[in-house]
Structure 1
Amino acid sequence: MAKRTSLKDSTCPVARSMEVIGDCWTMMIIRDAMLGARRFGEFQKSLGLAKNILAVRLKALVEDGILKLEPAADGSAYQDYVLTEKGQAVHPIMVALRQWGEDYAFKPGEPTTIMVDRKTGKQIKRLELHAADGRLLGYGDTTIVSSTA
């Protein structure tokens, strides 16, 4: 299998983001961490991922500052994987993926899960992109320019 080209030096923020969190298993690990998984065994049980692949992904997430290792909350000899501020900042990306999946990855009537507000128990509103003046932006309403422009 050919070695994948690294995107870590790309000038494109999407490419650099994909370099860190673009792997399917990486996003599933982050999802599980957001849902409360903290231990290697919890991730392994939830994902059914081979231990060697899981170990590599967890190590990379720690090295990239998405997760950090902390002494186990229960005082045992284990260590917990905990989302950092950088890891928690993936939340809107996860919500966007979830909402896209709700719209396009299921057949009508097929069972799924929904995201709700912990405080009210009600389903969250759709993510929206707004201009600085408050206008709702859609596809075609934005463009990319150099940050030095």
Structure 2
Amino acid sequence: MATESMTTCPVGRALDLVGDRWSLLIVREAFDGVGRFSDFQRRLGMSRSMLSQRLQALLEADVLAQQPLEEGRSYQQYVLTERGRALFPLVVALRQWGEAFLFAPGEPRSVLQADSDGLPLALMQPRDQHGQVVAAAGTQVIKPPSP
């Protein structure tokens, strides 16, 4: 059972939904254009049952939706919903953190770049309503009153 602080915590609720490794990797693959079950399985190396469970959970959470792969065919593909596409900043932030702290200098890694100019994305940073970068020490969590 969730504690009171977890039920009012947006981070806790988000992690309940997409906080496991496989769910976020499925979302990452969907951003890369993967939509077929077999392609998810091949690229991620997941068992069929694990992939089925995670895809079903993402469908139920409205992160993914199913749509026909081709007109008149029975094959379905998975596509990101609006809620799923809104996870893009999270995926980019995790990528940038991994790039900064989990690779040795010069170690090969994939690069996410903007189509507009071919350059890597700028570092994502939290900003206040005036556009100023804010560090954790400059924030506070206001919790709702207890019932």
Q: TM-score, normalised by structure 1?
A: 0.90
Note if 1:92 corresponds to 2:81: no
Count how many residue pairs are aligned between Structure 1 and Structure 2: 143
Q: Distance in 2 between matches of 1:101 and 1:63?
A: 29
The partner residue of 1:115 within 104, 108, 112 is: 112
CA change 1:141–1:28 in 2 (3 A) is same
1:52-81 residue CA offsets vs partner (Å, 9 max, x unmatched): 000000000000000001011364321010
Q: Distance in 2 between matches of 1:134 and 1:117?
A: 21
Amino acid at match of 1:139: A
Note if 1:27 corresponds to 2:20: no
Task: Please provide the CA RMSD for this pair.
Answer: 1.6
Alignment map for 1:44-63 (pairs within 5 Å): 44-63=41-60
Amino acid at match of 2:125: E
Structure (1/2) with the larger helix percentage: 2
Gaps of 5+ in 1: none
Amino acid at match of 2:108: P
Larger mean Cα displacement after TM superposition, 103-112 or 74-83? 74-83
Amino acid at match of 1:49: M
Match of 2:79 in 1: 82
Q: How much identity, in percent, do the aligned residues show?
A: 37
Q: TM-score, normalised by structure 2?
A: 0.91
